[in-house]
Amino acid sequence: MYFWDKHKTITGYYELLSAEVCNRYGLTQMEYDILMFLHNNPQHNTAAEIVKVRKSTKSHVSTSLKNLENEGLIERIQSEDNKKHIEIVLLDKAELIAGIVWMIAGVNVARLGVISYLNAESDLGRLAYSRRYL
């Protein structure tokens, strides 16, 4: 149970941080997750790789990518050699959001102390749910 307690604490804090950004920019959780995934893993820049690596469903990824493209956050670039190969590129607006996410996370982690997140009974566990630092 120790691992799952830690996992729940970290997941709860992640959801808390992402909810703030999702609300601010009108993103769903899946859209946010895909943006951050692409930002942190630029080598996995196709829908098929997102599905494979993140273990997401094709339909959720496809719908989210369409919405992100409509919002001007990503661009799909079709390969000249292989029409089925479509790379996904983050646009400046998406990079700005990713930068804000890291800034928010950095400020909050710095306030709590980097090591404290490992302890479910630490301040992080309590503060993540109280929203006192966001």
Residue ranges of domains in the chain = 2-130
As a whole number, mean pLDDT of residues 3-22 equals: 81
Q: Taking the mean position of all CA atoms in its chain, how far away is CA 79? A: 26
Residue 117 pLDDT grade (very low, low, confident, very high; cuts 50, 70, 90): very low
Q: How far apart are CA 46 and CA 87, in angstroms?
A: 5
- Contact (Cβ atoms closer than 8 angstroms) between residue 117 and residue 11: no
CB neighbour class for 33 (10 Å; exposed up to 12, middle 13-18, buried from 19):
buried
pLDDT digits (tens, 9 = 90+) for 92-101: 888 888 877 7
Question: pLDDT confidence of 131, banded at 50, 70, 90?
Answer: very low
The model's pLDDT over 59-88, given as tens digits with 9 standing for 90+, comes to 999 999 999 999 999 999 998 888 888 999
Write out pLDDT tens, residues 23-44: 888 999 999 999 989 988 889 9
- Topology (CATH) of 2-130: Arc Repressor Mutant, subunit A (1.10.10)
Phi and psi, residue 81, nearest 5°: -80, -40
Q: Report residue 83: phi and psi, to 5°.
A: -65, -20
111-132 average pLDDT score: 46
Q: Where are the beta strands (DSSP E) in the chain?
A: 74-78, 86-90
Mean pLDDT computed over every residue of the chain: 79
